[in-house]
A and B are shown apart, each in its own frame.
Chain A
Amino acid sequence: MGALSQAPATESSPLVRISHLEKLYPTRDNGNVHALSDIQLSIPDGAFVTIVGPSGCGKSTLLKILAGILDRSSGTVEIAGRNLEGPSKELGVVFQAPVLLPWRTVLANVLVPAEIQGLDPAQSRERARDLLSMVGLSGFENKYPGELSGGMQQRVGICRALINEPAFLLMDEPFGALDAMTRETMNLELLRIWQEKRTTVLLVTHSIPEAVFLADKVVVMTPRPGRIAEVIDIDLPRPRTLPMFNTPEFGRHVDAIRRHFNSGGALD
């Protein structure tokens, strides 16, 4: 640990390189739960990668390890050529729940990472305002989270994850708690943000259509032990639009992924 290989991330080399990653959780009876088994994954710089899988396949565990808030049992993780050793300032994380601090205004919530990382306050404020207006929350800067709807809160969470201009954005089922219509809107918005910011995104979801719609690559994970079953390249043209949900290509990808979860081709 601690040795930095100084290889700069060029266009050819991936931003994130995960090899032989294992995660074991100890259980009460001195046994182990094999949460992640031999994970091999590389994520190209600027790519939008989604992880899809049923509950218990370790997808959230993988994300927590990448966020640096959970230790791995073995294996290596490199981000931008550096060995991952803990939380990193180059990362932004969007959680399943918005996780806003209710005693802070919307603006102050967006500024949390900037304050923690000691970024220039004036610049950060301006950036926070820009981000909020980008997600349609201009005029809400001085509201408190309790005054916002769930969808608005999650947008604030996304702004917060982007405030330090992260090279790598991790999203753990960010839209899981939203209703279907809000979710579609948020998907489109997220793609727009991604196209504008050109940050690399890794998004965990349990919705196969969402995984296909957003991604350049879909990582299909299966449970017990959590392992990568397949990595599927999605060749749908960009920008993605809602009518694409109904195209045969889209359906083909969805079917290909679904096959992994229906043992013996059983029904969904």
Chain B
Amino acid sequence: MTEIAAREASPPTVPAPALPAGKKKASWKESRLVSPSLLVIVLFLWEALVHLLGIPAIVLPPPSAVLVSLWDGIASGLFLPHFLVTVTEILSGFALGGGIGIILGILIGQSAFLERVIYPYVVAFQTVPKVAIAPIIVVWFGYGLSSKIIITATIAFFPVLANTIVGLQSVPREQLDMLRACTASNWQIFRMARLPQALPFIFVGLDIAIVLSVIGAIVGEFVGARAGLGYLILQKNFTFDMAGVFAILIILSLIGVGLHFCVMFVQRRVLFWADSNKNRITGA
């Protein structure tokens, strides 16, 4: 779901002017129609199959039941407190993990020495499945928000870290030569070229991290929690309320998509120069 959203959100790479509104534009419009109609068709088939084959609702609820359950959960106010808990965990964990990722990435990206010394351990830590250490973190930090935030942060930080390091090293040689010829210090080079050059990479990392943060929060709640949408999924599962489980899955997807778009929005504001090639003036 998020992948489809990502594809839709990225603007068409075809330069807008120059081309007469011909084939390309039409196909772009068509693809905007195809994606939602595909969803409608799948939902319709799903509904029909459940009824035709007589699949019990505790195995696979029909979409209509899911929608009813979704509406009930929202209207009764059942979802709201859990929604707020989970969103708090996601955002706090994302901020913590992203922050650590950027800071550690800057430290590692600044020196080849630190990269050799620290990075192997970071990669080793990354290879440990976070689901496996989640119970330990719950033991250490309790059933409350903090353990979920920390679990989320451990999942969110790595893509930000890796992309920050790559981004800081992506400065073109010519820019470094130019700045050094102007007698720039390392700090000035960092501030004037390395950091701005790394920003597009950092945003790629943040975009991955925000989606992973949703997973992190739910994993944390599965391991041990007293509130949150993940906790609610487990409860619904125990009572065989499959329609309720699916309804919460929809909410989680919407949270993921919504946060992804928030990151994209900020990215476009910050990286304003990335698509300024559009209004290029031709000629000398």
Contact B281 A103 (CB under 8 A): no
Is A194 among interface residues, defined by CB-CB distance under 8 A? Answer: no
Q: Which residue of B lies closest to A170 (CB)?
A: B181
- Asked if B175 is at the interface of the complex by the 8 Å CB criterion, the answer is yes
* B positions within 8 Å CB-CB of A: 172, 174-175, 177-185, 188, 192-193, 196, 272-273, 276-277, 279-284
Closest chain B residue to A157, Cβ basis: B178
Q: How far is the CB of B196 from chain A (nearest CB, A)?
A: 5
Is the C-beta of A117 less than 8 angstroms from some C-beta in chain B? yes
A149 and B280 contacting across the interface, CB-CB below 8 Å: yes
Q: Please tell me if the beta carbons of A112 and B181 are within 8 angstroms of each other in the complex.
A: no
The answer to whether A97 touches B273 (Cβ under 8 A) is no
Q: Determine whether the beta carbon of A87 is less than 8 Å from that of B182.
A: yes
Which single member of A115, A164, A182 contacts B284 (CB below 8 Å)? A182
Asked if A113 meets B182 with Cβ closer than 8 Å, knowing A95-B177, A101-B192, A151-B284, the reply is: yes
**Is there contact, CB below 8 Å, between A116 and B183?**
yes
Tell whether, in the assembled complex, residue A117 and residue B177 are in contact, meaning their CB atoms are under 8 Å apart.
no
A67 on interface, CB distance cutoff 8 Å:
yes
State in angstroms the CA–CA spacing of A67 and B178 once bound together.
Answer: 10
A88 on the interface (CB 8 Å rule)? yes
Stretch in A49-57, A124-132, A140-148 with 4+ CB within 8 Å of B = A140-148
Pick the 10 closest A-B CB pairs, nearest first.
A146-B276, A151-B284, A113-B182, A93-B181, A87-B183, A103-B273, A102-B273, A182-B284, A99-B178, A146-B277
Is A87 within 8 A of B180, CB to CB? yes
Which chain B residue lies CB-closest to A155? B284
Q: How far is the CA of A89 from the CA of B188 in the complex (A)?
A: 15
CB–CB B193/A101 < 8 A: yes
Complex alpha-carbon distance, A93 and B280, angstroms: 25
B181 touches A69 (CB 8 A): yes
* Interface: A91 (CB within 8 A): yes
Residues of A within 8 A of B177 (CB): 64, 67, 69, 95, 99
Also in contact, A112 and B282, with CB within 8 A (given A101-B175, A102-B273, A102-B276):
no
Contacts A87-B180, A102-B273, A112-B182 known; A147 to B281 CB distance under 8 Å?
A: yes
Complex contact A93–B178 (CB within 8 A): yes
A89 close to B183 (CB less than 8 A): yes
Query: Once the chains are docked, how many angstroms separate the CA of A92 from the CA of B83?
Result: 59
Complex Cα spacing A185 to B273, Å: 29
Contact check: which of B174, B196, B279, B284 meets A99 at CB < 8 Å? B174
Q: Which residue of chain A is the closest to B277 with respect to CB atoms?
A: A146
Report the bound CA distance from A96 to B188 in whole Å.
23
Could you list 27 A-B pairs, sorted by A, with CB under 8 Å? A67-B181, A68-B181, A69-B180, A87-B180, A87-B181, A88-B183, A91-B181, A96-B174, A99-B172, A99-B174, A99-B178, A101-B175, A101-B193, A103-B196, A103-B273, A115-B192, A116-B179, A116-B182, A117-B182, A144-B273, A144-B276, A146-B273, A146-B276, A147-B281, A149-B281, A164-B182, A185-B284
Give A116 to B181 CA distance when docked, in angstroms: 10
CA distance in complex: A68, B179 (Å) = 11
- A103 CB, nearest partner CB in chain B, Å: 4
Q: In whole angstroms, what is the CA distance A91 to B188 when docked?
A: 18
Question: A88 CA to B174 CA in the complex, in Å?
Answer: 17
Nearest CB in chain B to that of A108: its residue: B192
The closest CB in chain B to the CB of A70 belongs to: B177
Q: Which of chain A's residues have a CB closer than 8 A to the CB of B282? A: 149
Give the residue name and chain of the A residue nearest to B183 (CB).
Answer: A87
Q: How far is the CB of A219 from chain B (nearest CB, A)?
A: 21
Is A16 part of the binding interface, using a Cβ–Cβ cutoff of 8 Å? no
Bound-state CA distance A147–B280 (Å) is 4
Q: Given the known inter-chain contacts A116-B182, A144-B276, please indicate yes or no for A101 contacting B281, CB distance below 8 A.
A: no
Chain B residues whose CB sits within 8 angstroms of the CB of A152 once the complex forms: 281, 284
Chain A nearest Cβ from B188, distance in angstroms = 5
> A149 touches which one: B182, B273, B284 (CB < 8 A)?
B284
User: What residue of chain B has the Cβ atom nearest to residue A88's Cβ?
Assistant: B183
From known contacts A148-B281, A149-B283, infer whether A116 and B188 are also in contact, taking CB-CB under 8 Å: yes
Q: Which residues does chain B contribute within 8 Å of A113, judged by CB atoms?
A: 182
Smallest beta-carbon distance B190→chain A, Å = 12
Within 8 Å CB of B182, what residues of A? Answer: 87, 93, 112-113, 116-117, 164
A89–B185 Cα gap in the complex (Å)? 13
Chain A residues whose CB sits within 8 angstroms of the CB of B192 once the complex forms: 101, 112, 115-116
A91 neighbours in B (Cβ, 8 Å): 181
Tell me the smallest distance from the CB of A87 to a CB of chain B, in Å. Answer: 4
Residue ID in chain B nearest A178 by CB atoms? B284
Contacts of B276 in A (CB 8 A): 102, 144, 146-147
Q: Which residues of A contact B180 (CB under 8 A)?
A: 68-69, 87
CA distance A146 to B272 in the complex (A): 11
Q: Which residues of B contact A147 (CB under 8 A)?
A: 276, 279-281
How long is the Cα–Cα vector from A225 to B8 in the complex, in angstroms? 56
